Every structure is written in C-alpha cells, then in structure tokens.
C-alpha cells in the first residue's frame, strides 16, 4: 500500500467549513423550516447548557469525516491518475449517495420523520460533502 501525504490544514479547514455551513443551514437559511419539521417551539428551546461540549463533539465528527474523505479522494486519484476539484466533488457526492442517504433513510421509514425533513437534512450533508471534497482535492 502506498503511503499518502495529507494536508492536515486542509482537513481542518474543510471541517470548519462544514461547521459554518451547519450554522448557516440550520440558522438563517432553513432554521425556521427545520424547527417546524422537527416540531420544535422556537420560544421553548429548552436547556442550552452543554452547548460547548455539543459543538466540540460535532467538530470532532466533522474532522473525522474530513480526514476519511481525504483518503477516499486520494485513493480514487491514485486509481485514475489525477486529483482535482472535479474528483473531489465526485467523491463527496458518492460518499453522500453511498453512506449518508441510505443511513438517514431510516428516519423516514422507521421514525416517522417527513421526506421534507429528510431532504432538508440531506441537502446539508450533500452540500457539505461537495464543499469538503472540493477543498480537500484542490488543496493538496
């Protein structure tokens, strides 16, 4: 197996971009729609203690996703002989299609969540994986 060079700064930046996108997606862009689909009363958001820990754990998850994605991009690039933004976008899309979309389908099938909520949440994941893939492929 060939060792690969990883740009760890790109991994961190891609994770930060995912977190910023999450803030925008579930805040100003679609926050009200998401709360309505989740049946959350914006006037009664509940206990906000522990938010720092929640964001830290989410950032760790974003770092792991970014780190795994850079491996997928690199090995795909080794297979076809080139790495660029197009490959990063393709690998981001394929990871969403192969892993995120099928796993989150259970929320509709078994948890009685709506398709609208599924599309809203999956829209975030597909956009974030596309952005992360583009960053990781371009910034080698």
50-58 long-range contacts, Cβ below 8 Å, gap at least 24?
A: 55/19, 58/19, 58/22
State the alpha helices, DSSP H only, in 1-140: 8-24, 31-37, 51-80, 85-95, 101-109, 115-138
- Burial label, 17 (beta-carbon count in 10 A; 0-12, 13-18, 19+): middle
> For 60-82, what is the mean pLDDT?
94
CA-CA distance, 104 to 109, in Å (whole number)? Answer: 9
**The pLDDT of residue 10:** 98
> For 117-121, what is the mean pLDDT?
98
> For 58-85, what is the mean pLDDT?
94
**The pLDDT of residue 1:** 54
Which residues make Cβ contacts (< 8 Å) with residue 37, sequence separation at least 6? 113, 114, 116, 117, 120
**The pLDDT of residue 139:** 92
**The pLDDT of residue 78:** 85
**The pLDDT of residue 3:** 72
**The pLDDT of residue 4:** 81
Rounded to two decimals, the pTM is: 0.92
CA-CA distance, 6 to 85, in Å (whole number)? Answer: 16
| Per-residue model confidence as pLDDT tens digits over 24-70 | 999 999 999 999 999 988 887 767 788 899 999 999 999 999 999 99
């Amino acid at each position: 197996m060939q060792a690969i060079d990883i740009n760890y700064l790109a991994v961190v930046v891609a994770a930060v971009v995912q977190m910023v996108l999450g803030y925008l997606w579930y805040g100003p862009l679609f926050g009200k729609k998401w709360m309505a689909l989740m049946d959350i009363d914006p006037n009664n958001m509940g206990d906000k203690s522990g938010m720092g820990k929640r964001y830290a754990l989410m950032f760790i998850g974003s770092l792991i996703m970014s780190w795994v994605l850079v491996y997928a991009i690199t090995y795909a690039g080794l297979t076809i002989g080139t790495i660029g933004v197009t490959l990063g976008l393709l690998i981001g899309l394929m990871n969403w299609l192969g892993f995120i979309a099928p796993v989150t389908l259970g929320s509709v099938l078994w948890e009685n969540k709506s398709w609208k909520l599924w599309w809203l949440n999956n829209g975030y994941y597909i956009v974030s994986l596309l952005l992360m893939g583009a960053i990781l492929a371009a910034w080698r």
